[in-house]
Chain A
Amino acid sequence: MNDLTAHPARGASEASCFPAHATEGLAGTSFKHEHLPAILAAGRQHCFFEVHAENYMGAGGPPHDALTRIRRDHPVSLHGVCMSIGGPQPLDKAHLGRFKSLIGRYEPALVSEHLAWSTHETTFYNDLLPLPYTPATLTRVADHVDEVQEAIGRPILMENPSTYVLFAESTMSETAFLRELVRRTGCGLLLDINNVFVSATNQGYSALDYLADFPLEHVGEIHLAGHAEQSDDEGELLLIDSHDGPVADAVWKLFDRVIGRSGPIPTLVEWDSAIPDWPVLKAEAEAAQAILDRHAGSTTREKVHAVG
């Protein structure tokens, strides 16, 4: 039964069977299978769709059929969740091979991964776990990003994480870490503004200060999402990156300010659990699109070479 882990590579021979759809200035949503009939019924949407790469790493079946239909008419963003780039151990070569095959097969407009880790030794923890920010971890992460980019033959966008704890040993700020990662590897950045808001609240710093220090000129995609509220050990607010509801007002405001500074950047609304009907998610993307459109032409953005 384990034969399913070894999938036939579908690469170059099937490549170039999709049109190139641009994501410039476009808003998008997570693609959820339950929305497929509604999306197809509505015809081509003025948006892009993002999928979690790992959900399409099976050999065949309905996932590939659905993604093929979506990809024909829309730009697709391939968002890796499990490469464990922020982990200390070597990358999983088989997983990297699967990632490369998917990129060859679907020719995504955007390709991204996380500044986080999820596998240690042989266990996959299915969460985006945090790492200390030090010169040593920076070097290790940069090596991993180099390895991924070399394998797939294109730059990736690295996403800032939501965090709940700090490491005593960290000596660099997250923004300094990311800026240096870009400089060393040539990767781009995926700026998750909900993650900024969540981490800033949890770590007691200003989201605006973080964004002021963020190298926006290297951002190839933005994420927006909903979060949930809990409390920390001291009974104070602790935000959870839950992706289970609408984007918070505070996050919309930060987004507006970022786009005002940078000009339009492809922006994705993530919604991964308690998934609403398609019109609700589509309305969130339309709200993002309205902000992107409002700032279109107001700022000439430096070309981000990490995109496509």
Chain B
Amino acid sequence: MRSAEQHGRGITPFSYADDFTPALLDPERAAPAAVRGPNGKAAKKRYDVYRNNVTVSLIDALAAVFPATQRITGTDFFRAMARFHVRATPPTSPLLFEYGRDFPDFIENYEYARQMPWLMDVARIERAWLDAYHAADAEPLPPESLAAVPAPRLADAVLTPHPSTRILRSRFPAVSIFAANRGDGPVGPIDAVEPEDALVTRPHLEVIIRRLPPGGAIFLMHLIEGGSLGMAAAAALEESPQFDLTANIAGMVGAGAFTAIGGDENDGH
């Protein structure tokens, strides 16, 4: 706690960062002893400028990644929650669009958010939205390409996922809650009560969030991991007898979730 005083000031030419940083995210700590104002002026409020810049800019960064989450909780609640997270888990990358990966888990364990158990899943969708936004560009599979695969070989086909493709599963109607709160429009009553799974894609410049039909998440997760269409469909049917293969294929191709088909040539099966 008193390292700056124990060391004396300027103990080495390079200890300035060790002295300057501990109080940046800890309001209980005093300003570092090595800094001052000009002409004998104090440096408390001066140092507070840096404290404020760090904390507020990082809270703002989380607010920019999680706008629907903030809209649900209200700004004051969100900023208080984000402040705890920023202080406990500041970013480790200079790329702020990578920040907030641990925030949904933080929300899950945040005492004051317990009455909103779906909030963490909305946050997970928002984090995936930003990953899709910055993902590598790739041309999605044209709609007719799967139709060109001969029917006997279709079951063995494997697909290459688009770099933006993400699947998120929720025990709550997280997609409906996300969709209602992400924009600026009025939020009406949300009737959904069922669990919802999300497919996140960005085939071109727009990020698309779709609610998946029954079995769709299992189906796509198998395909993303490199499983064949036949295996993926079997797994989806096992989880959900209502699984509709044709509709799911149309949906995933329409969303641009994949970029290439393979596995049906050369190696026989």
Contacts and interface: CB of A to CB of B under 8 A. Distances in A.
Given A88-B16, A168-B9, 4 more contacts: A5-B95, A60-B138, A126-B53, A140-B14
Interface string A147-169: 00000000000000000111111
Contacts of B91: 123-124, 126
A263 interface: no
B21 A125 contact: yes
Contacts of B58: 126
Nearest to A122: B92
A41 to B, nearest CB: 18
Contact of B14 (A59, A95, A137, A205): A137
A203 B41 CA distance: 10
B256 interface: no
A164 B137 contact: no
Contacts of B134: 4, 58-61, 63
Nearest to B48: A164
Interface in A111-131: 117-127, 129-131
A205 B37 CA distance: 12
Interface stretch (B76-84, B96-104, B143-151, B260-268): B96-104
Given A4-B134, A125-B24, A127-B57, A61 B202 contact: yes
Given A129-B50, A169-B10, A233-B43, A124 B135 contact: no
A123 B90 contact: yes
A88 B17 contact: yes
B7 interface: no
Contacts of A136: 13-14
Contacts of B39: 204
A64 B37 contact: no
B205 interface: yes
B35 interface: yes
Contacts of A89: 17
A131 B16 contact: yes
Residue of B61, B133, B136 contacting most chain A CB atoms (<10 Å): B136
B90 A125 contact: yes
B35 A64 contact: no
Interface of B: 9-10, 13-18, 20-21, 24, 34-39, 41-47, 49-50, 53-54, 57-58, 61, 90-98, 101, 128, 131-138, 163-164, 166, 202, 205
Contacts of A205: 38
A126 to B, nearest CB: 5
B97 A58 contact: yes
Contacts of A88: 14-17
A97 interface: no
Nearest to B42: A233
A130 B91 CA distance: 19
A54 interface: yes
Interface residues of A, number: 62
Nearest to A59: B136
A275 interface: no
Interface in A42-101: 54-55, 57-65, 81-84, 87-89, 92, 95
Nearest to A89: B17
Question: Which 10 pairs from chain A and chain B are nearest by CB?
Answer: A58-B134, A136-B13, A82-B94, A169-B10, A88-B14, A60-B137, A59-B136, A233-B42, A165-B35, A204-B38
A8 interface: yes
Contacts of A134: 13
25 contacts: A1-B101, A54-B94, A59-B135, A61-B133, A82-B94, A119-B94, A123-B91, A125-B21, A125-B54, A126-B58, A127-B57, A130-B35, A131-B16, A136-B14, A165-B37, A165-B46, A168-B9, A168-B36, A169-B10, A232-B42, A233-B42, A233-B43, A233-B44, A233-B45, A238-B49
Contact of A240 (B24, B49, B54, B96): B49
A234 interface: yes
A77 to B, nearest CB: 19
A143 to B, nearest CB: 12
A132 interface: yes
A167 to B, nearest CB: 6
A60 B136 contact: yes
A204 B50 CA distance: 19
Nearest to B14: A88
A168 B10 contact: yes
